[in-house]
Structures are given as structure tokens and as C-alpha cells.
Structure 1
């Protein structure tokens, strides 16, 4: 009651409002004076506080091996009430999706995709494709079960999808109405991917390739990589950064971005995932205070991945990686999604999404625009504005009560008083219990 409700669609703040929840839906949102409070209702005092829609992390790999038991609790504790899972064992993720929806597990509402790549990628959870026919078959079998019921919510292309298979995926995805998103494979250009109907492009380094006068050379050089193991990935990051630093073409970049805007291709910059490489082992980036919420096996993988990063590497990444591209995308009308690529190195479930919002603002977005990238825009992208994205009667009760105004300082999204996920209330005590449960479980 008596809360300031932020309308992320318009930027307006409606003061002295009351929001009523019945089950998992908002039954009233409007002036407190007009609210009819049911007898016996739990009342949360919102005076001096701000209510926003629950946050979405639109690029996670959250339900992977040892992380699956903890990621959901960490996300909810941080106000992340929705997530787009970008590919692991799809049937495992779908079980988590169903269990969360049924209230058997704690976690964000999920949309789940499956990763498709070329044979160079040896991961067992990847669907491998080579030919046009492989691409068509992958879309058919991954998006639908044998009985015709839905399976994956979308298809994610990865970096080494062969050219023929990529266009097979694009054609069949359009035919079936299945979204396909992901990396821009080295076998195609950014413009070709946008023209082919790729719904979203993940990570800003793919865009940077498109902005390079040496785009064809870059794609030929790294597209024949024989391995996608972590050390080899570091080589790619290092060498690609060096080439991109010296070949940025602003005229070409404006043309590429104009194509993205014209085709309504969305971008998930995942700015936070580059920070450990640009600022190797800087504690303001690696956040050792959050390590207690991460399994030792995962931390070990992070350390191995970062072991080869030198100060010179960090300097190169900093010099080529520019927040200006995110600003240019915004200025051109390209729609942005907030995502973290959790659990890449030092990218933490829930915690790191708030850092991503801060980096979006550092890139030139207003706090409102950054907030939209994690609330309204995900709902629009998913075709779910009728049930998500804003605070209104009839919509799902995914909400965050904040102690300070995020429109004046985006860092205030961290100042959480209460999280409401699918109608379930997590106050300060409940959120602390979620974090303590994860910390305790990881000690045993």
C-alpha cells in the first residue's frame, strides 16, 4: 500500500498507489484511495518505496550441472523473476521450467532454448549440423516432440554453424514460426543474419565483427577453429580483439546498425561478460564477496579460463571494447535486452544482472531505458506484454519493491525490500534465507 509505482512503458511514477494480488495475478493497481483491501489480506507498507516489474536476465545458462540447484534461488533473491536459458540439456531445463511453474522449485519463470552448432563443438548437449537438411531437421526435432507438442521455445545458433545449415535453420524456423537467436556464426555476416530473420544477436563482439573493415578476414580466420575449449577461446578473444582494435570502420558500422534497426533485430549486449577480460582479477569486477554462492567446481573453471589473461590482453580488450556501440544501437532504434551470460567467468546468478544494468547506463542509456531492457523489452520480445512487463491489473505478479528510486540512480535496483515471484512473497527474511541456504549447501 501507498507505494510509488514506476510505469516502465512511459517513465511515469504514480505516487500513493496500491497494488493488490490475488493468487499469481495483479487484481488491482491504482490510487490507494480507491483500493478495496480484502479482509485478512497481507499488507506490505510501501511508503517511501518504489515498485517495479520483476527483472529478466535474457541470456543465462543457469541450469547447468552443479549450478542447477542454486541458480534459481540466487536469481529470485536478486529480483530476477524471469530468465531466457540459452542452451544446455534441453530436457533438463524443461524439467526445471515445469517444476518452477508448479511451485516445486524456487526460480524465475523460464523460456528455454537449445544450442545448435557445427561438428567442431563436441559438447553433448549441442545439436550438430552440417548441411541444409541438417538445419531443417534440427528445427523440426528440437522445437516439437514426436506427438507434435512444443519442446524448445527457440533455437540458438552458435559460432561454428556451417553456412548451408544456418540458412536451413533460418528457412525452417520462419516456416514453423519458431524464433531463432544466438551468435552470428563465422560462416555468415551480421547483415546476412539479420536479413535471414535471426530474432536476436547475442553479445556485442559479434556486432563488432560486422563493424570491422576486415570482417571477411576475421570470419575466415576464426571460423575454421578446430576446438572450442576454453584455452582456444581465449586465443580467439585475444586475437580477435587485436584485429578489431585496428579495423573499426564507423561508416560500415552505421550501415550494419541501420540494417539491424530496419529488420527489427534485437541485441543482447552482455556487457558484463567482457569485464573480467578487460579488468583481469580486479576485485570490483570479480566480486570475491559473492564467491560463497558459487560451487567450487565452477570457480575452478573460471580460474582456469582466466589463467592465461595477461595485463596486455586486458589492455587490448579495453581498447577495442567500446561502450559507444551500445549507445549507437540505442540511438538507431535497435531494441536491447539485458542479459549476463551467467555462469561465464565471474558472472554470478542474479547479482550480475544489476551490474549489467549499470553498464548499460554507463554506455549512454538512461536509467529508464536500462530498466526497460530488463522488464518491458523482454515481455515485448517474448510476445508477452499482455501478462508481463508492466504493473497493471490482470498481469502476472512478478514485482520488486525497492527502497530507493531506480530512475534517479540505476544502482538502486540492488536496494531490494521485497521480491514477489509469481505471487509468492520473498521479504528480507525470506531472501536472506535463500542466500544462506545456498551458502550452507555449498559448504558440505
Structure 2
């Protein structure tokens, strides 16, 4: 059979692009892409404005004889009835003494466990090309609330106009930022203050930090807090994780990204930091190129945020090897104390980090979800897996240890009581990346089922300052809840034994949700 020349050409193009980026550098790449973007942007058609949507009022319902679990203290109350009216929990009372109301539909909860709906506190669902399918996939995993981690003026406007498709078949949008803070909109402290003021005026709920120099990073924290906004995100290369917490960064995503956390947790931290470049991965002058931000977002972000093999060079691997050899559990525990004192939250996104550093695990080839992806996405994913496999074994050992140290560090933080929340960094479902896998990996880190449940329910409620509306099953709370077939406090697997999802008073069985996913996937084939 002849070789597929189209595939060969595609691989040559990918290889050429990687070589170009490595040899020419980010600045040169942005020059070329920025110029090319001019014509592309001008020729693009205006996006179609989606219709307005609202949540349809749900009929009243009563769930009988269920065991209600309170994530705050891990208590169980068996034989309870949950009354739901107008999208809110009206009351929770023992079934034996519950009043009879013929107007309410009854759901038999015998043998099942009720917990608050789950919250994915780090998702990029609204960047998905098919948000409706993403919404369905999230609900099927019990996710009734999301913190979207990348926004824009357009998304903020569409939220204000109810044009994001957020009805009863979608998770509740809990937090939405404006545009990511990058050198293209925050190249100086003044730029950052101006951009944050603009996003505050646009209605952003928080500020998402990705990449700036050190002075701009700290100025952005202060500017966000002056506007009453929280600020969350990545740590730029020159910023130490303990300094970020001390200064007031509200939540750290992916352990800060890169090597920062492990350099800090080394007993030779000062020596290792002295060997670390303090500059951005592209020159600051490149930020001023017309359309440079668009070029980064369109062409370079995927490479920049891809598998560790595409973002880690030999010098960085050598530093990591030294950091791991001098890793200090005491320093990790001390850092946890700083997080507790400063109320700095961590969203580890374990499954996502695993996909960057352990991509050669058989699960990334065998995950049944891979067969449900479009052919082009399957090929792209498998090509990345093959590329990861071809990495020299000595380098793979360091990358694998990166993930094992991540598990160890998150476990120490959890044991010390540092605030942690659950997030996937996904857009609904991905190969080797689901809420069930996130739960499993948090368990491998040492979190108990109760701690994972808290990180997914009551902790997000605390972080968002919404304990009066979410995080528990009690009178007055939003009617976003789950019925589980297995005790979620007895095993991590029980957290994913979902039989029913209720979103704003509308209830769906797991079979209902799977059928909806099948219809949506068939429609896009």
C-alpha cells in the first residue's frame, strides 16, 4: 500500500514550524505572524451573534428517602426529603415527617446519596467550538457550575445580553474574566492598570494573569484589588510562588506552571533561581507589533501551552533534575502555611499537568473517548503521543518525576489544610482528562474523598463568597445537586457514580444526559 503523502506533507509542515520557532525565536515568529494577521483579520467575516437564552422555570419536585451529605463537615443524614421549588431548595426534612404535597413530582432517592453539584474551577469551555456539546459533557460529569478562565470583551457583552447559551442544559457560569493579561495588553505597570480598569468597566468578575514581567505582575495584583477584583493565573518566569502568595495573588493555577514551584521548594533554591532566566520567552518589543496578540492567540498559544516536550529545553530539564534531587517536604509544608495565612487558593488541574508530563501513559492511547473525537483531532493527539514517546529516556525520567513531585506537593498542601479547588483546564471532556480522572489523581496525591468533595463543592462556594447559595444542600440554596449511587465518602469512585443531575431545579438522569451527548455528537459528524 503506498504511503500517504498528504500525511507526510502535514508532518513536514509541523516539523518545519517547530524548527522555525526554535531557530527564529518568539519575536521573529510574531513579526511574521503579525504581518500576516493584518490581511487575515481584515478579510474575516463578522461573527454570527447567538440568540438570547434564559433558564426555563422548573416544576416543583420532591426527592424522598435520600442520604444528604454535607461537604462542610462530612456528616450524613439518612432518610431525608429535599423539596425544590422555583430553582431553589425550599426545605430539607426527614421523609418520615415530610408533609404530603400532591402538586410535587416525587423522585425516589432510596439507597442514593445527595451532594451539591460539582464546580469546575478552571475550564476553557467557552473557547470550545461547540459549547452546546461541552455543556452536555459537563452536566453528565455532575458539573453544574464553572469558572471560565479566559474571557474577552465579546464574551462579557454576550453574558450581559444572555447570549452564551447558558440555560438549564448548561452549567451555571460562576466567574468570567476579561482578556488574558499578556505583554500585548500589559507591557508596563501603567498598561496593566489601564487594562484592568477597562476590564472592570466591561464587567469582568476577575483578572486572569498569564505572562508579564515581574514588576507588571505585582502592579496588576494591586490594581485588581483596588478595583475589588480577584486576580488568578500563572506565574511568569521571574516570579517566585511564595512571593506571589505573599503579595496577594488570589489563586494559583497548575502550581504556577513551569519549574517555579520546584525551584522554590529546593534546599538550594537561591542557587537554582540564580541560574534561571528572568526574561520573558520573547522580547518585549515584539508586544508592540500590530496584531501580535492575535498572532499569539491564533498560532502560538497551542505550542506555548502544549506538552512539556515542546516547552522545556535542556537547560530547564537540568535545573529540574537538581530541584528534584534537593526537594524539601518541609519547604512544601512551609509554603502551605503561607497559602493558609494569605488565603491563596490552588487549582492544581492534575489531569492536565499529567497530560503534559506523562503523555506516554497508555491511557492517552486507550481512552475510549479518543474514538469519539473527529478524525483530525484523533490524528493530532496521537501524533503528540508519538512525539512524546520519542523523547530521550533520560529526559522522560525527569518529566515523569515532575508529575510525581506534583502529586507529592499537592498532597502535602492538602494535609496541611491549604485551600484547594478542583479544575480540569478543559472544555468539557478530553482524552485522559475528565472529572473522574481529576478525582482519581487528587486521590493519588493523598486527598481523601471528603477533601475532594470539598474542593469541588464547599471550597468553591467559599472562594466565590457564595456560601449562602451554593456548596451545601439546605433551604435557600440553588437547586444544583447530584444523586449518587455509591457513598462518595467511602471511595473516590463513588464521587462519579452519578445517577441524576439537577440544574436549577431541572433534573436529568445519567441516561438522559448520555442520550443528549449522543444526539449532539451525531449532529456534528
Specify which of 322, 334, 337 is matched with residue 246 of structure 1: 322
Alignment of 1:114-263 (within 5 A): 114-119=178-183, 128-145=185-202, 151-158=203-210, 160-204=211-255, 205=257, 206-212=260-266, 213=269, 215-217=272-274, 219-220=276-277, 223-225=280-282, 229-231=301-303, 234-237=309-312, 239=314, 240-248=316-324, 249-250=327-328, 251-263=330-342
Shift of 1:200: 0.4
Bigger shift: residues 53-62 or 88-97: 88-97
Bigger shift: residues 194-203 or 219-228: 219-228
The residue number in structure 1 matching 2:177 is 113
CA contact (8 A) 1:271 1:359 kept: yes
In 2 relative to 1, CA 406–314 (structure 1 residues): closer, same or farther, beyond 3 Å?
farther
CA contact (8 A) 2:67 2:111 kept: yes
CA contact (8 A) 2:119 2:456 kept: yes
In 2 relative to 1, CA 298–387 (structure 1 residues): closer, same or farther, beyond 3 Å?
farther
CA contact (8 A) 1:93 1:112 kept: yes
Specify which of 302, 324, 327 is matched with residue 408 of structure 2: 324
TM-score, normalised relative to structure 1: 0.88
CA contact (8 A) 1:406 1:413 kept: yes
Q: Distance in 1 between matches of 2:382 and 2:275?
A: 28
Shift of 1:218: 6.3
The residue number in structure 1 matching 2:93 is 30
Deviation string 1:175-199 (CA, Å, 9 cap, x unpaired) is: 1110000011113211221122110
1:128 alignment partner, SS class: coil
Q: What root-mean-square deviation, in Å, do the aligned CA atoms of Structure 1 and Structure 2 show?
A: 2.7
Bigger shift: residues 50-59 or 251-260: 251-260
Q: Distance in 1 between matches of 2:335 and 2:159?
A: 38
Specify which of 57, 64, 75 is matched with residue 120 of structure 2: 57
CA contact (8 A) 1:4 1:51 kept: yes
Q: Distance in 1 between matches of 2:402 and 2:338?
A: 22
CA contact (8 A) 1:400 1:419 kept: yes
Shift of 1:344: 10
The residue number in structure 2 matching 1:409 is 491
CA contact (8 A) 2:369 2:430 kept: no
2:220 alignment partner, SS class: helix
The residue number in structure 2 matching 1:398 is 480
1:361 aligns with 2:443: yes
2:176 alignment partner, SS class: strand
Shift of 1:106: 2.9
The residue number in structure 2 matching 1:432 is 514
CA contact (8 A) 1:94 1:112 kept: no
2:387 alignment partner, SS class: coil
Shift of 1:432: 2.1
The residue number in structure 2 matching 1:335 is 419
The residue number in structure 1 matching 2:158 is 95
TM-score, normalised relative to structure 2: 0.75
Shift of 1:162: 1.6
Q: Distance in 2 between matches of 1:376 and 1:20?
A: 21
The residue number in structure 2 matching 1:72 is 135
1:271 aligns with 2:350: yes
Aligned residues: 428
Relative to total residues, which structure has the larger helix share, 1 or 2?
Answer: 2
The structure 1 segments of at least 4 consecutive aligned residues displaced by more than 6 Å after TM superposition are none
Shift of 1:113: 1.6
Highest Rg: 1 or 2? 2
